[in-house]
Structure formats: C-alpha cells, structure tokens
Amino acid sequence: MGVKPSSRGCFGWFVVAVILALVIGAIVYTIKKKTEKSEGPAPIPGPPGAIDKKYADALKIATQFFDIQKSGKLVDNKISWRGDSALKDGSEAKLDLSKGMYDAGDHMKFGLPMAFTATVLSWTILEYGDQMDVVNQLEPAQDSLKWITDYLINAHPEENVLYVQVGDPKTDHGCWDRPEVMKEKRPLTQVNASFPGTDVAAETAAAMASASLVFKANSAYSSTLLKHAKELFTFADKYRGLYSESIPEVATYYNSTGYGDELLWAASWLYHATGDKSYLQYATGQNGKLFAQWGSPTWFSWDNKLAGAQVLLSRLTFFGDKDTSNTGLQMYRKTAEAVMCGLIPDSPTATKSRTDGGLIWVSEWNALQHPIASAFLASLYSDYMLSSGTAKLSCNGDSYKPSDLRKFAKSQADYVLGKNPMKTSFLVGYGEKYPQYVHHRGASIPADATTGCKDGWTWLERKEPNPNEATGALLGGPFLNETFVDDRNNSMQAEPSTYNSAIIVGLLSGLVTTSSTVHSFT
C-alpha cells in the first residue's frame, strides 16, 4: 500500500526545513561577507525597526539645508531660489575654492566649522547610513559631504599650507545681498609653518580621514582623502599653535579655545581609517594624558571635540579592543560614561543646566548646538550598548539601560520639532509652526530682486516674512526662559548654521527607525 501524499510525516518536513534553513543561512552569510568588504557599513543584523514617520519626515527636511548653503557651480540644483555663486573663490592663489558651503546666514567660508560639519556628517553616514538609505537620504548626505571634501582637498595645496577662510568677515558683514550677485572681494586666509593652526588643520584631517571611510568604494578618491588627512595631521602636530592666535581677526567669529581636542579627535579618526596602531597610541598615550581631560565631562561642539573623541574611542571597547591593559582607552570609555550619566535626567550626576522644558542649556548664542550634539552622542552610545549586548550603564551606583539614553536623545529632538513651551519647531519647514524671519540673506531676498551690497539692507528690515524658505535650517533656538523672538535682526536666535545641520541630521538619522544597531566600520 503506497504512502498518501499527505502522510510525509513531521520528521520529513523537519528535514526539508533544516536543509532549507542551512542553504538560506549560507547564502545570507556569503552576502554579508561580501558586503563587509565593500563600501561603508555592513548591513545591520536583521531589520533596523519600523520607520518612525516623525523623525523620517524631519530628516528629509533637515538634509535640504546643505543644498541651500552650497557655494560654486551648482549641479542638479534642487533649490529654486539658489544659483551659481563664488565661482572665482581661490583664483588669487590659482586654486579652485568655489565649492564648500557658506557658514550661516552670511557668505563666509570658515574652515574650522566647515570641517567639523564634514566630520559629523561622515560619522553619521558610517553609523546610520543603512537607516538613512531606508528613507532615501543616504545619497543626498553623501553628495553634500563630497561637496565639502572636494573643497577641502583644494584648500590643502601643499603639505604645510591650508587655506582656512574665504572672504573678509568685516566686508562680508557690511553687505546684505544674495550670494549669486555678491561683488565684494573674497581674500584668502591660510595657516602654514610660520603661522600655525593646529586646531583647524587637525579638524580638517579628521574630516578627510572619516570621509575616506565613507567613500571607500571610490578607492582613488578615498586614498586622496587619506593622503591629505595624514599630511594635515603631521602638519598640525609638528607646528603647534592656535589658528585664532596666528590670525587674530578670526577670533571674533570662531575663536578656538584649544587644539588638544582636535589632535586627539584626528588621531582617533586616522586610527579608524588606517588601522595603524601608532594613531591609537597617540590618542591613548602621553597626548591623551595631556589633552583628554579624563574624568571631566565636556560639551561636544565645533570648538571642543573631546566628548566626540571619547565616544568614538569607546566604540573600540564595545566592538573591538578588549585589551584592558590599555589604560588610556579605558579612561576614554570611563569619561564617555560620565558624559552619558550627565545627560540622563534622573541620574545622580545629571547636569542641572536645563530649561524647564527639559532642553540642555549651555550657551545663549546658538542654544540648540549643545543639546542636539549631546543627543547625537547619546543616540550613538545607546546603540553601542544595544549592539554589543551591554545591558546597563552605572552612574554613581544607579543603573541605566540603553533605552534611557535613547529616551533622552528623543526628548531633545522632540523639543526642536515643537514639543516645547513655545509650541514651535526650530527646524524650518517642519511642523505647523516654525520661524518665518530666518536671519539668512539668500532666504530674505527674492531671487529676481536687483540688489547690491548696500541697497539689499532694505530686505533685512522688511516686515514681511522671508520670500524664500530656508528649508531644513536648524536655528539658534530659545533663551533659557524659553522665549523666542522671530525677527530677522535677531541673529542670536534666528540664524541657522551648516554645522547645526550636521548634528541634527546625525541625531535624526539615529532615530529614524524605532530601533537601531551599529557595527564596525573599519
């Protein structure tokens, strides 16, 4: 009597299922291995979680501000009221410095914050590129990053020469005009062996080293970036000095308070980019003892990279270097933990520096920079813990989970997006209510207006809202008492900056899905 088709039995189906699982597993393993050898981060294990529409929508808006800030001949221009500008930048030195991005609402190119923008954008892509890709924001972010790194490559024509500024701030700030029509002189400023700028040279090295990882698939471009990064780091370390002391006039705008943080930050990125242990030794050895301020938490910003370096080097202890004999590396991890403990609101060591609405408060000027940068680091650290199976963080005896850090990160993002006493979004273009009088020249003057340097000032004083929307701009933000004056003349609160955009894009990329894990990008 034959076996009925329906009587194969449980064991038979089990064998088929096992074989099928093994075949699928082998395919997945092969794909994963191939991907790990290709450009950028490998796929995360399993789906990254459901898309959180709020953060996905905000991320799509935030990335647009980079296009608004682009200098040079615009390719595939997506901003209707922007056009080509500053095409002759660098010509007096026979260089093409037409690319790069304008710093804020003006038309200056400041090297220190621009390089910081590139480093943070690279870090974001390396950690969260897969999540950005889910909502079609990876390619725009890579394009924006390359617009800056193309400029930085040209700004470093010799080993010990780096152009760190295009434009004269006094002249530039004496005009209110669109970048497309500006006619004022655009002088160049450089640091060199005689007039060193350790801080700006090292930050530029960090930007190029991190970007070399982002563009790994383009081996020639990646190698060029890495070559410049190594040369700039050597230049920064050999000829030590603050760029704002070498060039006192820059101190009014981006005064650097130290260069040790940039040296450690650059060395950390060069280690990740090269695997050369001498860079890790640089950061964890004597220079770490001199500059890292181990045990003393600091705020992450364009001027101070210590907290960023601490978190970046901590990831080695989560995923790679388990060598507990490297006391310097362990001190970076310990200090990063102290930074995190200071951010969690109910931690025994939580900073009291917050508004009543829960926003971290550090500076009256550009108030949102520090809380958003802190939230970005908290998002990263939370994901390092989650991905490595680290269950808890100890803060003076109290234990906290990765979800506690993520909750803090979301609270700062939510504040920016409108969950605040003013019920206004500080990300232009997001939500039902956001500022209409952004301190931004291009946004404040119609594209078809005929203005020069001086007659453009009438557009600053007009009572009407800006004719062009600076979509994606993250503004300076509220005062400590949680008030905000939406006024074009209020540059303290109403001016956006390109580096603010980098940190909000970083934070939103970490929150764009309901859960996220990270992986090695070396």
Instruction: Look at residues 480, 483, 473 and name the one whose alpha carbon lies nearest to residue 438.
Output: 473
- Please indicate whether residue 519 is annotated as part of the active site: no
The identity of residue 373, as a single letter, is A
Which of the residues 107, 156, 439, 440 is marked catalytic?
Answer: 439
Instruction: Look at residues 500, 509, 513 and name the one whose alpha carbon lies nearest to residue 66.
Output: 500
Instruction: Look at residues 313, 510, 481, 275 and name the one whose alpha carbon lies nearest to residue 413.
Output: 510
Cβ partners under 8 Å of residue 230, min gap 6:
205, 270, 274
CB atoms within 10 A of CB 26: 10
Q: Do the Cβ atoms of 94 and 471 come closer than 8 Å?
A: no
The identity of residue 342, as a single letter, is G
Q: Do the Cβ atoms of 261 and 291 come closer than 8 Å?
A: yes
Q: How far apart are CA 503 and CA 158, in angstroms?
A: 31
- Structural tokens at position 50: 């459901």
- Structural tokens at position 462: 């007009």
Q: What is the DSSP letter of 427?
A: B
Q: How far apart are CA 438 and CA 491, in angstroms?
A: 8
Phi–psi pair at 101, nearest 5 degrees: -135, 145
3-class SS letters over 54-105: HHHHHHHHHCHHHHHHECECCCCCCCCCCCCECCCCCHHHCCCCCCCECCCC
The length of the chain is 522
Q: How far apart are CA 441 and CA 190, in angstroms?
A: 26
Instruction: Look at residues 109, 115, 104, 111 and name the one whose alpha carbon lies nearest to residue 68.
Output: 104
Cβ partners under 8 Å of residue 316, min gap 6:
280, 329
Name the percent of the chain in helix, strand, coil, to the closest 5: 50, 5, 45
Q: What is the DSSP letter of 109?
A: E
Find the largest Cα–Cα distance for the chain: 101
Place of tokens 């089990």: 14
Give me the active site residues, please: 439
